């Protein structure tokens, strides 16, 4: 029997702990988490804030009690202050100021990521805040009850910023979405797809302000105004959603780091130190799109990394098969999913990349109800012909379609293989000449 200490128990950590307890009953598992809750589905925060769900209860799928019931020892509201890697000791401080020290045979670091703070004047004013944790969302919801809070500026038009802009607008607030980039969702989609999302936001009342750099946040005690290099905006609340960085505080001087500061791990999630593993948003992944190590912070990646690390610390060799960064977003009924590389990103990385596109109705024209256009773009390498990425957008539920492209990237399927792929047809679901087949046939 060995003693395994897990630092951090959100998605990756919880997956690791549950995997160990379910498969290796002889192992001793100790968990540290500085929060008061675990397993919070942050991707559901905007739904809660925007009143699209009745409450936060369903956003949790595990708890201290559940982990303890399965055999773990759990230190909640206990922040790990340092790790002695030479002597294999973890030092934590609980909410009462008491030091807790645990030895380990194997260590799994699941420290997650930290929101980026803008180093500008006024970033410490009241009502300038992040929305990442349960406590953040709860605080925002309570403040939204104040009828005097009318103007909200969301800084950052990535996934979280766009989702929160929709949520606040659904609450009847005046929303200004500001980003230094010239569009939203940069990096996830090519320009034509980003434009679809921009138009959807504008159509539903979100004010778009792209190509603007935030210079200052003004106010006496609480925020009153946001100043950019082009204009200023009234603000009763400011949400900083400009991105995240890996939380490497506990190992930045001891473990090998990736270029962005994430812990660099191998296919078993092991770091540069024996007996030390890193999972989730604080660690790297193997990206099948570029066939190299990368950093892609997604909950799905975190869960898989936790499962892989759990088996390996218990002596069962299990390698990651890599990821493609599959992701999706749904805003005012516009569903967008993507995986792998966009054409812009592939070109920037040096691929001689091409793309083929097709737009058509999801189902035959004689299906009059629940039928709308679907736009698909497939990115592929001109020389090897292998699929590098795909993007799909529609008001239809096209979420399952991206899984096929994810597998295609993983298995190095060529665009030519997709041309005659056996795709079933039934009018209730698709067309005989469906958008996947037609896009593939259009490849040069």
| Identified catalytic residue from 43, 136, 171, 314 | 43
Q: CB of 37 within 8 A of CB of 10?
A: no
136: annotated active-site residue? no
75: annotated active-site residue? no
Main-chain phi, psi angles of 303, to 5 degrees: -60, -45
What's the 3-state SS for the chain? CCEEEEECCCHHHHHHHHHHHHHCCCCEEEEECCCCCCCECHHHHHHHHCCCCCCCHHHECCCHHHHHHCCCEEECCEEEEEEECCCCEEEEEECCCCEEEEECCEEEECCCEEECCCCCCCCCCECEECCCCHHHHHHHHHHHCCCCCCEEEEECCCHHHHHHHHHHHHCCCEEEEEECCCCCCECCECHHHHHHHHHHHHHCCCEEEECCCEEEEEECCEEEEEEECCCEEECCEEEECCCEEECCCCCCCCCCECCCCCECCCCCCECCCCCEEECHHHECEEECCCCEEECCCCHHHHHHHHHHHHHHHCCCCCCCCCECCCEEEEECCEEEEEEECCHHHHHHCCCCEEEEEEEEECCCCCCCCCCCEEEEEEEEECCCCEEEEEEEEECCCCCCHHHHHHHHHHCCCEHHHHHCCCCCCCCCCCCCCCHHHHHHHCCC
| Identified catalytic residue from 11, 75, 282, 311 | 11
Q: CB of 287 within 8 A of CB of 389?
A: no
Determine the Cα–Cα distance for residues 151 and 224; give it in Å rounded to an integer: 9
Cite the active site residues.
Answer: 11, 43
């Amino acid at each position: 029997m060995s003693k395994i200490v897990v630092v951090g128990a959100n998605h990756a950590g919880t997956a690791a702990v549950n995997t160990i307890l379910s498969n290796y009953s002889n192992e001793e598992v100790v968990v540290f988490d500085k929060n008061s809750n675990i397993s919070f589905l942050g991707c559901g925060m905007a739904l809660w804030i925007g009143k699209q769900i009745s409450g936060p209860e369903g956003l949790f799928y595990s708890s201290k009690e559940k982990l303890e019931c399965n055999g773990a020892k759990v230190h909640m509201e206990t922040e790990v202050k340092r790790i002695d890697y030479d002597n294999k000791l973890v030092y934590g401080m609980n909410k009462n100021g008491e030091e807790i020290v645990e030895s380990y045979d194997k260590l799994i670091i699941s420290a997650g990521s930290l929101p980026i703070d803008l180093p500008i004047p006024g970033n410490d004013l009241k009502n300038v805040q992040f929305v990442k944790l349960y406590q953040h969302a709860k605080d925002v919801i309570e403040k939204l009850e104040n009828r005097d809070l009318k103007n909200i500026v969301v800084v950052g038009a990535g996934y979280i910023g766009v989702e929160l802009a929709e949520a606040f607008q659904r609450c009847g607030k005046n929303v200004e979405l500001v980003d230094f980039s010239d569009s939203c969702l940069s990096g996830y989609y090519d320009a034509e797809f980003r434009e679809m999302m921009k138009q959807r936001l504008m159509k539903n009342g979100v004010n778009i302000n792209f190509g603007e750099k935030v210079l200052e946040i003004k106010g006496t005690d609480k925020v009153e105004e946001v100043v950019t290099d082009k204009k200023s905006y009234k603000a009763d609340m400011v949400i900083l959603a400009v991105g995240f960085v890996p939380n490497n505080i506990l190992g930045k001087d001891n473990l090998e780091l990736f270029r962005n500061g994430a812990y660099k791990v191998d296919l078993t999630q092991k770091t540069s130190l024996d007996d030390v593993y890193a999972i989730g948003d604080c660690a790297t992944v193997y990206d099948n799109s570029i066939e190299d190590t990368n950093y892609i912070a997604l909950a799905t990646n975190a869960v898989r990394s936790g499962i892989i690390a759990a088996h390996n610390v218990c002596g069962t060799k299990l390698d990651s098969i890599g990821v493609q960064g599959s992701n999706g977003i749904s805003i005012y009924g516009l569903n967008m999913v993507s995986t792998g590389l966009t054409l812009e990103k592939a070109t920037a990385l040096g691929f001689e990349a091409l793309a083929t596109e097709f737009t058509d109705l999801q189902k035959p024209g004689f299906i009059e109800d629940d039928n709308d256009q679907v736009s698909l773009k497939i990115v592929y390498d001109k020389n090897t012909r292998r699929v590098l990425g795909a993007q799909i957008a529609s008001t239809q539920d096209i979420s399952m379609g991206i899984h096929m492209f994810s597998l295609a990237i993983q298995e190095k399927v060529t665009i030519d293989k997709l041309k005659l792929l056996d795709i079933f047809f039934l009018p209730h679901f698709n067309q005989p000449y469906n958008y996947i087949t037609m896009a593939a046939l259009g490849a040069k």
